[in-house]
Amino acid sequence: MTEGKLLSVKEIGQHNSPSDCWIVVDGQVWDLTEFHQEHPGGPAIILKYAGRDASKAYNEAHSPSVIKKTLRQDQFKGVLDYSTINSEWLKQPPTENSRVMLDNEKPPLTTLINAHDFETVASKTVSKKTWAFYSSAATDLITRDANKSCFDRIWFRPRVMRNVRSIDMRTTVQGTDLSFPLFVSPAAMARMIHPDGECAIARACESKGIMQGVSNNSSFSVEELVQAAPNGSFFFQLYVNPNREKSAELLHQISSLPQFKAVHITVDAAWPGKREADERVKADEDMGVPMSNVKAKNDTKGGGIGRLMSGNIDPGLTWDDIAFVRKHTHLPVCLKGVMSADDAILAMEAGVDGLLLSNHGGRNLDTSPPSIITLLELHRRCPEIFDKMEIYVDSGIRRGTDILKAIALGATAVGMGRSMLFATNYGQEGVEHLIDSKFTLPFFL
């Protein structure tokens, strides 16, 4: 698709309205008139670049293959005639965010020694939009903060005089061997922080022998992730689409790749949470539609990137839909986002293969219980569940002591999401460095 009619910037610029919208991505001209209303990130970001070059904005969030796989052949209009480029064409939108610090101003990776360090660096080096999306949580941040503080309130009773010259921390998740009971929780749009995005995470997980959860809103396709880490292990986080045919097609695609070991149905995000830090960037550059002089305005629905990405999530999801997922995959089916023993019991009765106790990192319903509290509740209300399925925990994991506490309380493995995104600021090497940051030390102590 590299060949096609040469199109001048003047001709491209004439297609600059919602009813006639062309954009340029990496020199290729596409007609997005039909697609912009279906865009998971909302139409505004596309319409902002109508009749213009959207390569920079596109490449911050998507891999090169996404547009070719998403659009039809007839929506490809031709290629940009570079000889017609003028100074007006090269101008960036006036509200384009710049990084607070340049990449070469980031501190050396060797000076970062824990997850908190990666978060601090990210807060100073990524764009305002990226930081808001990654760091935001629902309303008063009570659940987000409690996720960590509840781990801090659990005390060890260390036992001494044990031979710990060598310990075996290997485990299995749905039959897949892991070097350590840790996985990367699914987190969307990793390319916003590094060009390699989820591919960098995949390569790091492959090299360290842990599993990667892939978001339904990943910047890269599942085929690209498997190509990046052919010996890696993945599970897929599924948001069930209102159009069940699209979910069925996606499940068949995942199931055809042997590197994918399970499907996790997301059950805690029927509607987008009110992430106020994320909402505050909605009137920034991505929310303006310059050719119509329309700017995003505050409303009562919440906003930001998280809200815009929720358009392909079915709020009508019920327990009956587990059978639909089972019908379209041979992989183990788990539920991601269980927050009560009552639902865990229903999941056990439904015969699912695993539960990921998660409150979405505190990003959806504030004052939802911390996952470690839900884990304790399972012991009190339905202890038999630990013999019937695998139980995973995420939300609030920052230290090796957090991992050890969850494992000691019955979890099969634990996940880290935000921290891995912040480590991706340094690419594959950053994620590997975080995984190596003495997470295993408490297991010796």
Q: Which residues are catalytically annotated?
A: 239, 268, 360
Q: Which two three-digit tokens encode residue 271?
A: 């509607």
Q: Is 112 exposed, middle or buried (0-12, 13-18, 19+ CB in 10 A)?
A: buried
- C-alpha angle 100/278/190, rounded to 5°? 65
Q: What is the 8-class DSSP label of residue 63? A: -
Q: How many CB atoms lie within 10 A of CB 128?
A: 16
Identity of the amino acid at 246:
K
Asked if residues 200 and 431 have their Cβ atoms less than 8 Å apart, the reply is yes
Helix (H, G, I), strand (E, B) or coil at 275: strand
Distance (Å, whole) CA 415 – CA 184: 5
Identity of the amino acid at 48:
K
Helix segments in 62-127, DSSP class H: 65-70, 87-90, 115-125
Q: Which two three-digit tokens encode residue 152?
A: 């801090």
Q: How many CB atoms lie within 10 A of CB 254?
A: 21
The residues with which 113 forms a beta bridge, in sequence order, are none
